Amino acid sequence: MKLKIGNIELDERVVLAPMAGVTDITYRTICKEMGAGLVCTEMVSAKGLYYNDIKTNRLMKINENNRPVSLQIFGSDPDVMAYVVEKHINERKDIDIIDVNMGCPTPKIVKNGDGSALMKTPELAGSIINKIKKVSNKPVTAKIRAGWDSRSINAAEVAQNLEYNGVDLIAVHGRTREQFYTGKSSNNIIKEVKEKVNVPVIGNGDIFTPEDAVKMIKDTGCDGVMVGRGILGNPWLIKNIVKAFNNDYDFYVPTSTDKIQIVKRHAEMLIKELDEKIAILEMRKFAAWYMKGMKGSSEARNKINKISKADDLYYILDEYSKFIGS
19 is in an annotated binding site: yes
228 is in an annotated binding site: yes
143 is in an annotated binding site: yes
Cα–Cα dist 48/58, whole Å: 11
54: left (phi over 0), alpha (psi -120 to 50) or beta: alpha
Q: List, by residue number, the catalytic residues.
A: 104
DSSP 108: H
Cα–Cα dist 237/64, whole Å: 23
294 is in an annotated binding site: no
Closest CA to 44 of 77, 66, 80, 71: 71
Other Cβ atoms closer than 10 A to 52: 9
Closest CA to 212 of 193, 195, 192, 226: 226
Cα–Cα dist 164/227, whole Å: 27
46 is in an annotated binding site: no
229 is in an annotated binding site: yes
18 is in an annotated binding site: yes
214: part of which helix (H) or strand (E)?
A: helix 210-220
265 is in an annotated binding site: no
Rg (CA), the chain: 20
What ranges in 85-186 are assigned the alpha helix state H? Answer: 107-110, 122-135, 155-164
CA atoms within 13 A on the CB side of 52: 1
Annotated binding site for FMN: 18-20, 72, 143, 173, 228-229
Annotated binding site: 18-20, 72, 143, 173, 228-229
